[in-house]
Amino acid sequence: MKKIEGKITKRGPESWELLNYLGESIRIQGSIYKIRKMKGFSFVLLRTKRDIIQCIAGEELQLPMEECCVELLAQVVEENRSKRGFELHILEVQVLSTPAEESPIVINQKLVDTSLENLLDYRPITLRNEKQRAIFRLQAGICKGFREFLAGQGFTEIHTPKIVQAGAEGGANIFKLEYFGQQAYLAQSPQFYKQMMVGVMERVYEIAPVFRAEKHDTSRHLNEYTSVDLEMGYIQSYEEIMEMETAMLRFTMEHLQAYYQNALELLNVKLPAINGIPAISFREAKEKVAKAYQRPVKDWEDFEPEEEKLLYELIYRETGCEFVFVTKYPSSKRPFYAMDSVEDARVTESFDLLFRGLEITTGGQRIHDYHMQLEKMQSRGMNVDLFESYLMMHKYGMPPHGGLGLGLERFTAKLLGFENVRYATLFPRDINRLVP
Amino acid sequence: MKKIEGKITKRGPESWELLNYLGESIRIQGSIYKIRKMKGFSFVLLRTKRDIIQCIAGEELQLPMEECCVELLAQVVEENRSKRGFELHILEVQVLSTPAEESPIVINQKLVDTSLENLLDYRPITLRNEKQRAIFRLQAGICKGFREFLAGQGFTEIHTPKIVQAGAEGGANIFKLEYFGQQAYLAQSPQFYKQMMVGVMERVYEIAPVFRAEKHDTSRHLNEYTSVDLEMGYIQSYEEIMEMETAMLRFTMEHLQAYYQNALELLNVKLPAINGIPAISFREAKEKVAKAYQRPVKDWEDFEPEEEKLLYELIYRETGCEFVFVTKYPSSKRPFYAMDSVEDARVTESFDLLFRGLEITTGGQRIHDYHMQLEKMQSRGMNVDLFESYLMMHKYGMPPHGGLGLGLERFTAKLLGFENVRYATLFPRDINRLVP
């Protein structure tokens, strides 16, 4: 019987280790990203898992077509004109696989010069573009930053079900499915479960898909997105949740700055400084925008997207901060589990976080008292019997608690300066798109 | 305008820091897990986010009911008879919340003494039991171990859609939903997407929910579970994937050993030694079991669960290893993207990993050549037009690659010695269960 030892085969150095091999011959794998023929030699760009590496091939070498996968034997040569300080002189090319056809879309220029629709239709190919894939390297870095921060703050990662019996956010924006003869839904958020888990572990988080059957066809809506959810017990006020989010965002920006320089440079990203984030109540924000732009307030219960942008402009001008917390949203616009304010029951102990004019987070303190929760549900005409397992936690004791959900794709998009959230979504799902 | 500075309020030390506060008075929050009245004083167990802390309350103190959430002012006193080397002498109790009712299930004994059905029906409460919640601390530790290992090996985390147009595994075991007038499905695995991403980033992984509409009502099936998926390019053989998994499991066991001692002790877990994992071909495994137990082989294409257990017993007796890789499964039983063996096209370059007699992983090398993939699909009578966006990656060039999927709950269950995977699932979904 064979024994698998758990040995990792490395057939050569990683691209980021190459500077340590100056003068040496090494083996390296990758795709032929681009060939540019010159007089007597060719420039070859090799796409490896993290970097695009500049190589030189003499004219005696037979070069395979672009998007071939190859193993090169090459010498690492110091080259100050190259951004990385070296280039590879190719000695041998071994072809590992050959495409059946040339790509119908040019992917090896600085930008993939095509419509958003084409970009998404050809996602398996267009993502191979250096800048396109850097977006998702950074997105992975954001998740890594969040996770490291949260682990350091005593949060435990959880995995909660996405097929559920009742929606947390209510309303019609919920996908239905048949579940062995029962009606079931796709979870709009892990809300109920993360609250339950606060009663168990005090601090929990989850980074996972959520589903919204919204019919909006806008630049900021997706029907499936990745939600970064956290929930924490023993808070004295919803402000502690905002403090936690501010610290998490600051930590994560520092994490990107420290470990993702290549991707940041490539995408020309200027990370926002987070020294502190201004907080303004919903009512004050409405008044502020109305006054500054002489727009009479039409709706005292909600923001229009335009107002969020104007608020951002005002706050940025005043404070230099690109984030703003808007607090104390009207109770009528918040879900049944939101804690109303003691001083004014028409508003909730809640907040949204806007980043560069777009809402990226909704959060707040939740009701922990059983009777208070029952009362609020009844006052909304809800059938409490449908929520028996949710209310179980309140009935048998819960700490004061709250939390938030952050849309990963929206945050990534705004961070990278995209006007459409789809640019920051690997394989977007919207009202018109189900493939790839 | 208020400014949120990003300051984390700590109202006292964490439970795991208390030994540094011997002799001092501290503030600590938690739930009253258990009160045991003695003569002249009470033992109080406080449930904090990670630990249960032993406290002493003098009879002058008014103690609230169990499952109240409290903040204690208490002195940290050295106590050698306590497992942690200290106990808390309670000076003041501030009640933060009070349950509406006493729990109908006793949760503060060593075990929650009830049926599996009750345990799951009352999940929000029964998870508060010290041992119950330790299961999911360890599960979070397993994910943390996997992630750290994979990051170190150059894997990038991805987030792929769960609402899809076509199932990766085929068959009837797929949940349907209506998606804005189109027929859609819930992803049985991220197979297509992780392969596409190998063409982009070479090594990728995802830990996310997958959905199987299987009607099996067994101790090892769930209709929604957490799949740990990885996929890697530039492999020379499927054995490299087995090597990677072996190294990942070893790293993760060491990670648990180093950072999760409390949970391991509490659950009395003996982590398996992973010096190497034996590998045996499907055919040899069948013959071996048939011979040793004098069971004639009825089905040369698949294992019965009983055979998997017998194989484990044999291998364990021979090698002392609790894992075994079974390789080269029949082509007829593997999906259309599996690479057939060059020496024998009736078998595939694939493997399962069995742990303590249960299949926890399926993996293998995938077809990367466009024409080979087309041919295999056509030979199975598949309509290739339905797979246009999947086949795009093959058409425009893919490296040799492969990967695996590991069932997180199955692995956790077997690691902790549970006979039923539901014990290691936070909120299980099965053919009869959709709540909580």
Determine, for residues B371 and A176 on separate chains, whether the beta-carbon distance falls below 8 Å. no
Mark the ranges of chain B whose per-residue pLDDT is less than 50: none
| B386–chain A Cβ distance below 8 A for any pair | no
Query: What integer pLDDT is reported at residue A360 of this predicted model?
Result: 98
Q: How far apart are CA B70 and CA B96, in angstroms?
A: 5
In the block, which residue shows the tokens 């760009």?
A45
Instruction: Choose among A244, A240, A242, A277: nearest CA to A149.
Output: A244
Q: Which two tokens stand for residue A338?
A: 């939101």
Question: Which residues in chain B have Cβ-Cβ distances shorter than 8 Å to A101?
Answer: 395-396
Closest residue in chain B to residue A151, using alpha carbons only: B144
In the block, which residue shows the tokens 């040496």?
A24
| A434–chain B Cβ distance below 8 A for any pair | yes
Query: What integer pLDDT is reported at residue B391 of this predicted model?
Result: 97
Yes or no: say if A330 and A348 are a contact pair by the CB < 8 Å rule: yes
Using one digit for the tens of pLDDT, what is the confidence trace for A339-394? 999 999 999 999 999 999 999 999 999 999 999 999 999 999 999 999 999 999 99
Determine, for residues A100 and B394 on separate chains, whether the beta-carbon distance falls below 8 Å. yes
- pLDDT exceeds cutoff 90 at A178: yes
Q: Which two tokens stand for residue B19?
A: 């030994």
CA distance B25 to chain A (A): 19
The pTM of the full predicted model, rounded to 2 decimals, is: 0.98
Determine, for residues B3 and A276 on separate chains, whether the beta-carbon distance falls below 8 Å. yes
Determine, for residues B176 and A175 on separate chains, whether the beta-carbon distance falls below 8 Å. no
Question: Which residues in chain A have Cβ-Cβ distances shorter than 8 Å to B398?
Answer: 69, 97
Query: What integer pLDDT is reported at residue A401 of this predicted model?
Result: 98
Q: Tell me the sheet residues that pair with B93.
A: B72
| B131–chain A Cβ distance below 8 A for any pair | no
| A106–chain B Cβ distance below 8 A for any pair | no
Query: What integer pLDDT is reported at residue A166 of this predicted model?
Result: 82
| A380–chain B Cβ distance below 8 A for any pair | no
Question: Which residues in chain A have Cβ-Cβ distances shorter than 8 Å to B279?
Answer: 1-4
Give mean pLDDT, residues A306-331: 97
Sign, CA dihedral A27-A28-A31-A33, equals negative
pLDDT range class, residue A236, cuts 50, 70, 90: very high
Determine, for residues A179 and B179 on separate chains, whether the beta-carbon distance falls below 8 Å. no
Domains annotated for chain A, with CATH where assigned, are 15-97 (2.40.50.140), 130-424 (3.30.930.10)
| A320–chain B Cβ distance below 8 A for any pair | no
CA distance A59 to chain B (A): 24
Min mean pLDDT across A7-11, A58-62, A122-126, B26-30 is at: A7-11
- The amino acid at A258: A
Using one digit for the tens of pLDDT, what is the confidence trace for B83-101? 889 999 999 999 999 999 9
| B233–chain A Cβ distance below 8 A for any pair | yes
Angle between helices A191-201 and A388-395 (to 10 degrees): 30
CA distance B400 to chain A (A): 7
Closest residue in chain A to residue B52, using alpha carbons only: A201
- In this complex, which of B233, B395, B435 lies closest to A99 when CB atoms are compared? B395
What was the ipTM of the complex prediction? Answer: 0.98
Q: How far apart are CA B84 and CA B69, in angstroms?
A: 22
Query: What integer pLDDT is reported at residue A152 of this predicted model?
Result: 97
- pLDDT exceeds cutoff 80 at A294: yes
- The amino acid at B131: K
CA distance A206 to chain B (A): 10
CB neighbours of residue A18 within 10 Å: 23
Name the 3-class secondary structure at A352.
Answer: strand
Determine, for residues B69 and A234 on separate chains, whether the beta-carbon distance falls below 8 Å. yes
% of chain A with per-residue pLDDT over 90: 96
Using one digit for the tens of pLDDT, what is the confidence trace for A379-420? 999 999 999 999 999 999 999 999 999 999 999 999 999 999
| B173–chain A Cβ distance below 8 A for any pair | no
Q: How far apart are CA B392 and CA B287, in angstroms?
A: 41
Q: How far apart are CA A401 and CA A427, in angstroms?
A: 34
Closest residue in chain A to residue B234, using alpha carbons only: A29
Q: Using the 8-state DSSP alphabet, how is residue A338 labeled? A: B
Q: Which two tokens stand for residue B148?
A: 């750290």
Per-position DSSP letters for A46-115, written without gaps between them: EE-SS-EEEEEEETTSPPPPTT-EEEEEEEEEE-TTSTTSEEEEEEEEEEEE--SS--SS--SSSS--S-
Q: Which two tokens stand for residue B350?
A: 């694939």
How many Cα neighbours within 13 Å face the side chain of A343? 2
Where are any strands of DSSP class E within B249-329? Answer: 277-281, 323-327
| A281–chain B Cβ distance below 8 A for any pair | no
| B215–chain A Cβ distance below 8 A for any pair | yes
Whole-number average pLDDT of chain A: 96
| A255–chain B Cβ distance below 8 A for any pair | no
> Which of B:282-311 have CB within 8 Å of A?
none
- The amino acid at A130: E
Instruction: Choose among A105, A425, A115, A52: nearest CA to B392.
Output: A105
